[in-house]
Structure formats: structure tokens, C-alpha cells
Amino acid sequence: MTNITRVLQLELDPFNHFLKINLNVSSFLHKKTVKTFRQRVVKSDWMSQAYCYTANGFFKAKSNSIEIMAALLQYPFFDGDRPYYINFGRIGEVIGHEIIHAFDGEGNQYDEKGNLNSWTPEAVKSFKEKSECFVGQYGNMTIPESGMAVDGVKTLNENIADNGGFKIAYRGYLKWVKQNGEELLLPGLSYSPRQMFWISVATNGCAKYRKEALGKFVSTNVHALEYFRVMVPFMNLEDFSRDFNCSTGSVMNPEDKCEVW
């Protein structure tokens, strides 16, 4: 705590209550932001996005970087002593999601240096055509508890990141297996390591809402409801269908699939 105070000039008293500590951190960040007024922007400033205790990840287009906060780099998202099909399914999926944001409808407006520089007209046209598939697919999903439909336009960028992120994490795990060998099954379960990867991905989407909160989430959030964030990408990914032997034309392996990346 003393080292943090000296390096960051942030006054933290471990004996204060949580609210006081949080207010001190907020005040520190505000003062830090004010000091940068009229100064040259440092795109690599790791403190610019969120608190380290925020359980989230971010893509920063202007620095072409992703930030995975410290709160995610621990159990239950990551644990070096457990099977890596769980780690890749949980923290790996989050990392993949943020990487794909570099190539969604907003990230594609920036180049590798973080400057505004869109793709070629041909690439943009192809991207939009593929994106329309997601708009229609998610837009046809209805939430049983409320009867509300998913907004396929508002959630488009996040849906693209979910679908592509799952694929990146899965391919990352297969590469890990190639280098380190197949992992053991979990005791008492008959699921294969690859099936356990998908199950681990799905656990990231466990959520429960009150009816009032559900309506607010659907109407304001740029993410689809967790159920659809898991199930729809699974429906689109051939890897999932193969690992669970889903027959062609079934609910989880429809003939018409959507894919951008």
C-alpha cells in the first residue's frame, strides 16, 4: 500500500471503509485527467480505461490495444492449476472478444496506429453484407420471459465480437493442445476436453434478472441477453456442432449460419 501511495501519489488507507477508498480513487483519477488538459495524448496510458478491479475487458481503438483488467485474471476466469479447456473457455473467450472488436463496425474505422483510416470500399461492402446476416438472425430472437425481441442493430458489434471471440478462443485451445498434449477428463464427467471448452464458455453467460431489470437491460444495453450471447454463436460455429455431434438442420446446427470472422 505504501508503494502504491508513493508511485501513484494516491492516498489509500487500508483501515478506511470501502466507500471512502472508492471516493479517494475516483478523486485521484479525476485530478489525473484534469492534469492532462492541453497535454499530448499518451495512447498507451493503461490507466485511461477503467479501474483494475473492474471485472471486464476493453478494446481501445485509438491505441489499437486491448485491456484485460486484473479482476478477470483470477478465479473463476483463470487458474493455472486447473485444466486449460476451462481457462480458454473463460478468460480466453473474453480476450478473443476484445480482439475482434478491432474488426467490428467501429474498430474497422481505425488503422494499426489508432488513426482514422477506414478499410477499402470493397472490404467495407463485404463486411456490411456479412453483418446483415447477424442483424436478421439476432433480430428474430425473442426473450420468452418478456416477449421482447433482441435489437439486432444495436447489439451488432457485440454479437460480431462474441461469435469471432468464441472461435479465436477455441483455436487458441487447439493450438495449446498441439503443443502440450491432450488433457484429462474431469472426474465424474464424460464430457471430452473440447466439449468442456464449450461448457466453460457457456458458464460465462450465466445470469438471472428480475422482470423490471430485464426490460431495462434489453432496451438500453448494447449486448444481447447472456442466453443469446451463448446460444447463437454456438448455433453458428461448425466446431461446436462437430464436438457435440449436432445433426445438420437441428436447432444447434442450422443449415443457414452467420459468420463475419
Angstrom distance (rounded) from CA 220 to CA 19: 27
- The percent of the chain in helix, strand and coil, each rounded to the nearest 5, is 50, 5, 45
Structural element, H or E, at residue 198: helix 193-203
User: Distances in Å between the alpha carbon of 105 and those of 182, 226, 234?
Assistant: 37, 21, 22
DSSP reduced 3-state for 119? coil
Burial 66-100 (b: 16+ CB within 10 A, else e): bbbbeebeeeebbeeeebbbbbbbbbbbbbbbbbb
Angstrom distance (rounded) from CA 211 to CA 230: 20
98 is catalytic: yes
Catalytic residue among 67, 93, 98, 243: 98
239 is catalytic: no
Catalytic residue among 67, 104, 158, 162: 162
DSSP 160-196: HHHHHHHHHHHHHHHHHHHHH-PPPPPTT----HHHH
User: Distances in Å between the alpha carbon of 215 and those of 31, 33, 104, 148, 218?
Assistant: 37, 35, 26, 8, 5
* Catalytically active residues, by annotation: 98, 162
